[in-house]
């Protein structure tokens, strides 16, 4: 760990650029700086550049007071949490008591003339982060109903990519990725139903952990497919920081029954103990190929991927070309609806609203809002057939028939496990995108892992792996069997430390 006292001379401009969790914690202990100084520095940076990047929907007006309280507790010798004094951001979709929950949609934003939904308590993850001592700087921008690969449909306007304002920021965790990549915060809470952790992380040169379904509670999070696909995870600039955050976020919650599956699956020693620069040595990893997807990589992506494969080999990994060849995996997945699992939307929404305020229900909310998001031109129009609103809204307390979803999930897990066993694989390493990130106004972003990873519920970690000639980031996706986060963290860390591809973005003012 680098001595935090070097931060002043090491950084030019913004003192805490690319600072890590452990650097900050060490600096607090040494007295090199206070939490108040750190938080003020971030708030000053946000004030300078926020108008150019629009990462936030709401800023925490009490952040400095909370920082002062943390300094007082440290001075008094109080026992502090693992994120004590670490500035973080939280995706708009995640409830924070006292902040409106807008779904990123104008009819639910008071500032746009819509109605206001005000959570009476924190989401479970928010509560865990607060208990760990994190300082929440604010909530971050998303597209309406988290349903896009950018934030262009947000009531708060688009968010811009920290690496290049002309590129898509990725979505739907657009604001979180921008805030962390652009050094507005150290860590961020992201959320994924269909790529929304991994895509913005890849688009903005970040580490993103899309965890196993059920590892982290999603109670108090606006759903798209809460019963089947939705997950929360960290955005960070380093693998170690992401692992530190995952240690706080992961684990069983009585409020979220699906997390019961995580009992016994979270390492007692913590995810950070798997940080190891030799973790790739002797590992067998499967590579992307037509057995998984028939779509080819662009030539430049292929070149960058080949460079990454050489780097993996240099760290002692053995690579297996296209291990899904001959399995019919690609054809099977292509025959399925990529929105499958979202049929639980209304059921999950009812549970979410009840957590937010026991007096709320979806019918009342949409009547007051005066619009429904699944109407033609609405943010959920693309998934209208899967949502089946007429039937679902009749009695949203009933969980819809998930027979088809469970069959597809079971088949995908069977095929993945079969391939891993056949080739004795430890993981797969793919380019997260098959081509360079498109421009801001492009709605679709291609990926190699959506929706296969989301339906199956498997974990995935993105790691910066270089840059295209245009300057847009290239990322690797490390993924593997259920509950293998610890092993993936080790491998991702070994690759990251051997290559150190991430470069701090140079922000600009408009």
- Known catalytic residues are 91, 172, 196
Residue that is written with structure tokens 């797969």 in the block? 428
- Per DSSP, what are the bridge partners of residue 474? 466
Please report which helix (H) or strand (E) contains residue 475, including its range.
strand 473-479
- Measured CA to CA, the distance from residue 507 to residue 383 in angstroms comes to 36
Angle at 457 between CA 452 and CA 460, to 5 degrees: 75
| Peptide linkage before 176 cis (omega within 30 of 0) | no
Surface-to-core class of residue 81, CB atoms within 10 Å of its CB (0-12 exposed, 13-18 middle, 19+ buried):
middle
- Measured CA to CA, the distance from residue 36 to residue 439 in angstroms comes to 38
- Measured CA to CA, the distance from residue 168 to residue 502 in angstroms comes to 18
For the chain, the residue count is: 510
CB 453 within 8 A of CB 479: yes
CB 243 within 8 A of CB 275: yes
Label the pairing between strands 284-287 and 318-320: parallel
Number of H helices and E strands in the chain, helices first, is 17, 11
SS3 string, 237-275, reads: CCHHHHHHHHHHHCCCECCEHHHHHHCCCCCCCCHHHHC
What does R_g of the chain's alpha carbons equal in angstroms? 21
**Contacts with 421 (C-beta within 8 Å, 6 or more apart), sequence order:** none
Query: Reduced to 3 DSSP states, what percent helix, strand and coil does the chain have, rounded to the nearest 5?
Result: 40, 15, 50
Read off the tokens for 322. Answer: 């296209």
- Measured CA to CA, the distance from residue 99 to residue 118 in angstroms comes to 6
- Per DSSP, what are the bridge partners of residue 88? 136, 187
End-to-end CA distance of the chain: 36
């Amino acid at each position: 760990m680098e001595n935090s006292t070097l931060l002043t001379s090491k950084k030019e401009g913004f003192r805490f650029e690319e600072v890590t969790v452990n650097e900050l914690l060490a600096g607090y202990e040494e007295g090199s700086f206070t939490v108040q100084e750190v938080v003020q520095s971030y708030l000053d940076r946000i004030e300078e550049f926020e108008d150019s990047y629009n990462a936030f929907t709401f800023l925490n007006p009490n952040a400095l007071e909370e920082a002062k309280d943390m300094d007082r507790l440290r001075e008094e010798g109080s026992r502090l949490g693992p994120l004590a004094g670490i500035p973080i951001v939280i995706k708009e979709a995640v409830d924070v008591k006292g902040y409106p929950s807008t779904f990123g949609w104008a009819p639910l934003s008071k500032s746009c003339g819509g109605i206001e939904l005000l959570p009476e308590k924190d989401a479970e993850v928010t509560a865990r982060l607060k208990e760990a001592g994190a300082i929440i700087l604010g909530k971050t921008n998303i597209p309406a109903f988290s349903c896009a690969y950018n934030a262009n449909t947000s009531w708060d306007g688009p968010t811009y990519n920290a690496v290049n304002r002309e590129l898509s920021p990725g979505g739907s965790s657009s604001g979180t990725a921008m805030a962390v990549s652009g050094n507005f915060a150290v860590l961020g809470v992201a959320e994924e139903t269909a790529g929304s952790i991994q895509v913005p992380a890849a688009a903005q040169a970040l580490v993103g952990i899309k965890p196993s379904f059920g590892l982290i509670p999603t109670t108090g999070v606006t759903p798209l497919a809460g019963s089947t696909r939705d997950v929360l995870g960290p955005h960070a600039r380093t693998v170690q920081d992401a692992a530190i955050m995952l240690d706080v976020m992961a684990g069983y919650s009585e409020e979220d029954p699906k997390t019961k599956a995580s009992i016994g699956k979270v390492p007692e020693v913590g995810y950070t103990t798997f940080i190891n620069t030799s973790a790739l040595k002797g590992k067998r990893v499967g590579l992307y190929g037509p057995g998984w997807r028939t779509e080819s990589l662009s030539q430049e992506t292929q070149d960058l991927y080949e460079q990454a494969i050489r780097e993996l080999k240099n760290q002692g990994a053995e690579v297996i070309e296209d291990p899904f060849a001959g399995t019919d995996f690609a054809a099977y997945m292509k025959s399925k609806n990529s929105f499958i699992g979202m049929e639980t939307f209304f059921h999950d929404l009812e549970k979410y609203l009840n957590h937010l305020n026991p007096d709320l229900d979806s019918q009342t909310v949409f009547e007051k809002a005066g619009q429904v998001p699944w109407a033609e031109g609405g943010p959920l129009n693309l998934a209208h057939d899967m949502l089946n609103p007429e039937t679902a809204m009749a009695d949203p307390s009933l969980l819809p028939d998930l027979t088809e979803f469970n069959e597809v999930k079971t088949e995908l897990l069977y095929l993945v496990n079969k391939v891993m066993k056949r080739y004795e694989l430890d993981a797969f390493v793919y380019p997260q995108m098959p081509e360079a990130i498109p421009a801001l106004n492009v709605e679709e972003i291609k990926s190699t892992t959506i929706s296969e990873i989301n339906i199956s519920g498997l974990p995935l970690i993105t790691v910066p792996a270089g840059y295209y000639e245009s300057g847009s980031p290239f990322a690797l996706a490390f993924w593997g069997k259920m509950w293998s986060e610890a092993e993936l963290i080790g491998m991702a860390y070994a690759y990251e430390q051997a290559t150190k591809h991430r470069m701090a973005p140079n922000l600009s003012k408009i």
